[in-house]
Amino acid sequence: MSDLQSQDYVRRSASTMTPPSARSHEDQVAKLIDVSRCIGCKACQSACMEWNNLRPEIGHFEGSYENPADLGPSVWTLMKFAEYENEQGNLEWLIRKDGCMHCEDPGCLKACPAPGAIVQYANGIVDFISDKCIGCGYCVKGCPFDIPRINKKDHKSYKCTLCSDRVSVGLEPACVKACPTGAIMFGSKTDMKDWAGERIEDLKSRGFDKAGLYDPQEVGGTHVMYVLHHADKPSLYSGLPDKPQISPVVMAWKGVIKPLALIGIALAALSGFFHWVTAGPNEVTDEDEAQGERVLREAESEKSS
């Protein structure tokens, strides 16, 4: 990622300081996926592979149109297909484009022990900075949506960047550009919520009483949102979490360790040690101390709240 983009960081994994956001005029962006107009054509998957130059292996047929079979270090977005029989006994084929949700409160970033390996930009995009990644897999555990995947070759974690490289120069993400039915839209989060409102109204007029927007507040809202026909049951859509929760592993930093802060520091030091083993001796110790301090501070602030 370019240096220019680093000026837009608002959060940085395993760091004490909120980065000074040099450019503050950035709008919060969002991708809106209107499941009700998605035909599951996988143009988004092709575009993602083309733009990011990803080529997973040619797999096998595994009992569904889902191919490849799972997200992977080279599969950053994946159409998921769920056959659902509704209360009236009619079939619905619920097709959902899966990928990083770009949480406002990103579990991956919280869990990440490698300083600056996961960042959040002012526009809300959560990005992995590969050269800082230590491949520990904590982000996988930290993610409430089971999105990041570790590449076994380079031991780095990968996921959708929301085409941060395109967005930073004023382009829409590749999947948005490729979508033939306009089911994937991109713009400011406010505009996307407004548009979602119109779509939900239309769906309600067509008998989907529970149509709604998926922008889960459990993670502070997301920068990838869905219009769902059945917003009361997100899990119908190939296991989209009804109430996404940041994993206990991450919550441990905040909760369990609260009375055991010293152990927290020890863990932080241990993590630093591992980083030293894998990445060599650099500012790791400082950073780890900072991480420990952050844990303590957060523990304190939680106690007082």
For binding to another protein (CB under 8 A), which residues are involved? 36-43, 45-46, 49-50, 55-65, 67-68, 83, 85, 90-95, 180-183, 199, 202, 205-206
Give the nearer residue to another protein in terms of CB position, either 182 or 197. 182
Max distance between CA atoms of the chain, in angstroms, equals 63
Cβ-contact 224, 101 below 8 angstroms: yes
Tokens of 257: 């360790």
Give the nearer residue to another protein in terms of CB position, either 50 or 232. 50
Q: How far is the CB of 158 from another protein (least distance, A)?
A: 16
Query: 238: which residues sit within 8 A by CB, 6+ positions away?
Result: 80, 81, 82, 94, 96, 98
Q: How far is the CB of 166 from another protein (least distance, A)?
A: 19
Give the nearer residue to another protein in terms of CB position, either 24 or 61. 61
Q: For residues 301 and 191, give the distance between their C-alpha atoms in angstroms, rounded to a whole number.
A: 34
Q: How far is the CB of 56 from another protein (least distance, A)?
A: 6
Give the nearer residue to another protein in terms of CB position, either 58 or 169. 58
Give the nearer residue to another protein in terms of CB position, either 37 or 141. 37
C-alpha closest to that of 145 among 67, 80, 208: 80
Q: How far is the CB of 205 from another protein (least distance, A)?
A: 8
Q: For residues 82 and 250, give the distance between their C-alpha atoms in angstroms, rounded to a whole number.
A: 30
DSSP string, 160-222: --TTHHHHTTTPPPHHHHH-TTS-EEEEEHHHHHHHHHHHHHHHHHTT-TT-EEE--GGGT-B
Q: How far is the CB of 37 from another protein (least distance, A)?
A: 5
Give the nearer residue to another protein in terms of CB position, either 90 or 304. 90
Q: How far is the CB of 173 from another protein (least distance, A)?
A: 17
